[in-house]
Structure 1
Amino acid sequence: MAYAFTDDLRTGNATIDHQHEQLFLAINNLLDACSQGKGRAEMDKTVKFLYDYTIKHFSDEEKLQQHSQYPDYLNHKKYHESFTGVVREIMDELEQKGPSLTLVFKVNQSVGGWLINHIKIEDAKVAAHIRQHNG
């Protein structure tokens, strides 16, 4: 199942939205690699990119939150840390067991599903705060 970055996922912040689009692209690339039975090397590369890009994105997003004095920054940071741990677990599982349908399911549920919910709920609050702070 491919994920689409639809208008209801836009926060209105160009940097955050662009990075979210890149995360969706990485997730879709990983799902494609899984469904096409690509080799472990291709999947390793895709999961590593997803992990590294997630860390970069969360760092950028947290800087925006700190700059705008977002009141729920610490909780938001905990969500990010939890998600980074999940992606790390997927990397470890891929390294230990190789590509599998279980891994595809985890990517769908734990990465794609989480990201959509996080953007719609938590990131929408951040974007509204930043707009108000800059307004």
Structure 2
Amino acid sequence: MPQIEWLDQYSVGVESIDNQHKELFERINRLLDACAQGEGKKVLPEVLDFLGDYVVFHFSTEEKYMKEYLYPEYLAHKKEHDNFVETYKKFREEIEKEGAGVSAVIKTNRLVVDWLKNHILGTDRKLGAFLKEKMPSK
């Protein structure tokens, strides 16, 4: 399976957020590598555990910035986060019932890669542009 490459267009311009996104790319790439070697089912539980922790940590980072700098689109952005968390929970329950088969690996890849492309390139980039104007330079 092809890797998802970090491109400059994914950068939101806020170092802490970009670093968290890069970590997500690395973890998903490990899953993709494992899939290419026929080991996707073995690595999937680790990736799902990471995702569960990641969304709590990463979303709270973004939401903290949005509140601190009075981001006008906070509610809409938070709703996207909440929707992803719900999707993740349902997906995790489904895998726990059905097992970590090939279809679960494919669904995980699709869920996360689609999220990355759509959320980062749209919603998070808008947040990043706003924060770059409001945050003190480092």
Normalising TM by the smaller chain, what interval? 0.7 to 0.9
After TM superposition, give the deviation of residue 103 of structure 1 in Å: 1.7
| 1:1-135 correspondence runs (5 A) | 1-38=2-39, 42-134=43-135
C-alpha root-mean-square deviation of aligned residues, in Å? 1.9
2:76 alignment partner AA = N
The TM-score normalised by the length of structure 1 is: 0.87
More displaced 10-residue stretch of structure 1: 4-13 or 29-38:
29-38
The TM-score normalised by the length of structure 2 is: 0.86
Aligned residues between the structures: 135
Contact 2:69 2:131 in 1 (8 A): yes
- Deviation per CA, 1:54-81: give whole Å up to 9, x if none: 2100001110111111001011011011
The separation in 2 between residues aligned to 1:40 and 1:3, in whole angstroms, is 19
Q: Which runs of 4+ in 1 moved over 6 A?
A: none
Contact 2:95 2:104 in 1 (8 A): yes
- Deviation per CA, 1:96-130: give whole Å up to 9, x if none: 22222322332232211121111111011101111
- Deviation per CA, 1:28-72: give whole Å up to 9, x if none: 223333443437564212211111112100001110111111001
After TM superposition, give the deviation of residue 24 of structure 1 in Å: 1.1
The separation in 2 between residues aligned to 1:75 and 1:31, in whole angstroms, is 31
SS of the residue 2:80 aligns to? helix
What percent identity do the matched residue pairs reach?
39
More displaced 10-residue stretch of structure 1: 24-33 or 9-18:
24-33
Gaps of 5+ in 1: none
The separation in 2 between residues aligned to 1:99 and 1:37, in whole angstroms, is 13
The separation in 2 between residues aligned to 1:32 and 1:99, in whole angstroms, is 16
Contact 1:44 1:91 in 2 (8 A): no
Gaps of 5+ in 2: none
1:95 alignment partner AA = E
Q: Residues 51 and 115 of structure 1: is their aligned pair in 2 closer, same or farther, counting only changes over 3 Å?
A: same
